[in-house]
A = this chain, B = another copy of it.
Amino acid sequence: MTTELKWRARAVIDGKAREWFPAQVPGNVQKDYGEAMGFGDHSYGMNAEKFRVTEDYAWDYEAEIPTEALRVSEGQKLFFITKGIDYKFEILVDDREIVAQEGMFTPVEIDLTGILGRGEDADGRPHFLQVHIEPHPKRTGAADDRTQADQCAKPPVCYGWDWHPRLLVSGIWNDTYLETRGTGYIRDCEPFWELTEDNSTARVWFAVDCVKDVEITLYDAQGQKIAAWKQQPGTEQVIEIKDPHLWWCNEQGEPYLYQWSAKSSDCEKSGTLGIQSSRLEMTEGSWLSQETFPKSRCDAPAQLVLNGRKVFAKGSNWVNPEIFTGTIRAEDYEPYVRLAKKAHMNIFRCWGGSGINKEAFYDTCDRLGIMLWVEFPLACNNYVGTPEYLKVLEQEARSIIRQLRRHPSVVLWCGGNELYNNWSLMTDQSLALRLLNRLTYEMDIRRPFIATSPLVGMGHGGYTFDDPNDGRDCYQVFQSAYQTAYTEFGVPGFADPEEIRKVIPPEDTFPIEKNPVWILHHGFEAWGENRWICPETLEKYAQKPMESLEETAKTAQWLQCEGYKGIFQEARRQAPHCAMAINWCYCEPWICPANNSLLSYGGKPKAAYYAVMDSLRPRLASARIPKFSWQPGEEFTAEVWLLNDSGKPVEADIRIRLVIGDETYDLGEWHAASDGANTKGPTVKCVLPRSDARRMTLQLAADKGFLDSSYTVCLYKE
């Protein structure tokens, strides 16, 4: 039996406690404080800046322990449970410190009856639970940015990123409650599984944390009993399942979940079990080494193999869908995951800057068949392996692995984001990454571990339509690249104007100027001078100045759609040497007027979401157009492909047409046949006519309409 608590909180500024205000738990204390202080919607105008003053505050939470909760029967105990407090904190009972901890991913349990007795309180005074939260960790001497978080295990994103404002959050962020437990309480019942190489047999066992005998029952997905057995404390029984139903990712099969229950004399728990195996292999062609000496190593493996089957990883980088991450409710994840599934995605890379989500996220991905690449909370910093840091990292990593390894959706562990790059300065020798390699080996040897992304052979970027270094457009960039996996890439696009108007005050919406509001909202100076709006790119391809917010948004959305089509489809054309296409990024934590995300804040699809959905269809006609901009009189070419990662054959007649203004030019027909993999077709050509049109559309129209594709590229006015 669980009991919710009613919390209040207060700021402690320079050692002085201020007024109490109501606190939402789970939540973030800064949000509650902002509401109490009338900061207004943090996403509007310059409001986010108001939170800067709170960065070095400490915070107190307090809740009264209901007297009736303490009145437990003989043999029962009342526990205080918290699944996570962000970040460095002490828990007190009646002002007496019981637990002090650094780290937001390690749960705490406190036996309150052990401290307060069973509610037989002589003086009848009320009892209080208190949580004291220390100011945000900031490494001494670090600049006012994410580097402040390079000696802690707090996800660095809230220290400011190019798409996330600096808005530091903390507080009781995860489920926190009182629980009455009898002597037979089942603290945990963790399913483990092993699958034979040929998938013919699964060995399943449960590690039960309970001092009494437990009756475990295993059911199939329909609730039919498969096996039941009694397990004594400290023992394990291995069940063999012949020809098990496997957990498959989206479009590769059903994300099959067995069910189980565990019952002791006075407790019952239940859960699911997905049986899978995952590994990373070398992609085809990446065992090649240079012909001449001296020779270096070959690329790192990047081919995901699920249940023995090579799966091209199609997906997106998951980031926090809220700035106030503590306020996310279990049910909030599902619409996001459903949209990924609908877009034919099969994977989220859970980027290290964002940290670990609430349990419901992993449950949802288990249920809907989205694979998860899970990163530990390290990103773009040099996490020097001091003994103090390694101690916290080990505690947090052990908690994370213990929590997540039971989820079949988790297919890959990763140390963190871009750590072997020169903006982070970590290396193969960094003790933090050697530690994570060790812990995943010890605690979850079944799953692959990579130290970071990118590894050798893999690529991150670009993030703009034109490469800022050499001006090539993203068609050209990716057609000349040859990576084993594209695990971050993106093209900025605008949110819909109605979204933008929610956060940019009317006087600033248009013309768009490099002023504090647009800068705070990542329109300018987010990364370099003019990103993410990139006005010069918009005018270059529109071939005219932007005359309204609507026109600006539409132009950016056009480029984002065509850019994402070009990159996702090119990555797929490079299969099987390339095995992953995972764009930056999927969602966003507040309304970003311009961003690489596919969903606007709140999970609202942008136009680009549909372009990506289009490009990730298991089977589609696809054109490799060598560049995005064309001139009348020039010879236009396009290589026609039939992309197919369904494993199923398809045959079709594909007609290739170029539409320029009102004219349609027939470029030929291809009878395409795929036996289940990609097939390369003819290269079509035509000399481009003079036209007033500024865009032209290449259409691939198949007799099987589900294969149709089209591309609208730029035609320069003479």
Contacts and interface: CB of A to CB of B under 8 A. Distances in A.
A107 interface: no
A431 interface: yes
A462 B204 CA distance: 51
Interface of A is mostly: loop
Nearest to A420: B297
A169 interface: no
A645 to B, nearest CB: 21
A279 B434 CA distance: 14
A456 B459 contact: no
Given A438-B442, A441-B438, A289 B421 contact: yes
Interface in A283-308: 287-289, 291-298, 300-301
A457 B296 CA distance: 6
Contact of A292 (B280, B421, B470): B470
Interface in A443-472: 445, 448-452, 454-463, 467, 469-470, 472
A460 B297 CA distance: 9
A637 interface: no
Contacts of A428: 280, 300-301, 450-451, 455
Contact of A472 (B288, B292, B422, B460): B292
B298 A477 contact: no
A199 interface: no
Contacts of A442: 438
A293 B435 contact: no
Contacts of A452: 297
A300 B296 CA distance: 11
Given A422-B289, A435-B441, A296 B459 contact: yes
Interface string A419-437: 0111001011101001101
B291 A456 contact: no
Contacts of A609: none
Contacts of A472: 292
Contact of A489 (B294, B438, B448): B294
A297 B289 CA distance: 17
A348 interface: no
Nearest to A462: B293
A595 interface: no
Given A291-B469, A296-B483, A454-B295, A301 B459 contact: no
Contacts of A457: 296
A173 to B, nearest CB: 31
A676 to B, nearest CB: 26
Given A421-B289, A434-B449, A438-B438, A459 B295 contact: yes
Contact of A438 (B437, B456, B463, B469): B437
A294 to B, nearest CB: 3
A481 interface: yes
A383 interface: no
Contact of A459 (B287, B294, B425, B448): B294
Contacts of A425: 287
Contacts of A470: 291-292
Range class of the A interface residue count: 35 or more
Contacts of A298: 420-422
Given A434-B449, A438-B441, A458 B420 contact: no
Nearest to A296: B454
A469 B289 CA distance: 13
Contacts of A486: 294
A434 B434 contact: no
Nearest to A456: B456
A282 interface: yes
Given A301-B429, A421-B289, A481 B279 contact: no
A437 to B, nearest CB: 5
Contacts of A456: 296-297, 456
A486 B293 CA distance: 11
Given A462-B294, A486-B294, A431 B441 contact: yes
A463 B427 contact: no
A674 B435 CA distance: 42
B429 A280 contact: yes
B287 A422 contact: yes
Contacts of A463: 293
Contact of A427 (B301, B438, B459, B489): B301
Contacts of A469: 291-293
Interface in A264-288: 279-282, 287-288
25 contacts: A280-B427, A280-B429, A281-B429, A287-B425, A288-B422, A291-B469, A291-B470, A292-B469, A293-B461, A293-B489, A294-B462, A294-B477, A295-B459, A296-B458, A297-B421, A297-B452, A297-B455, A300-B428, A301-B428, A301-B429, A429-B448, A434-B437, A434-B449, A437-B441, A438-B442
Given A287-B422, A289-B421, A428-B450, 8 more contacts: A292-B470, A294-B461, A294-B462, A295-B421, A300-B427, A300-B428, A428-B455, A435-B441
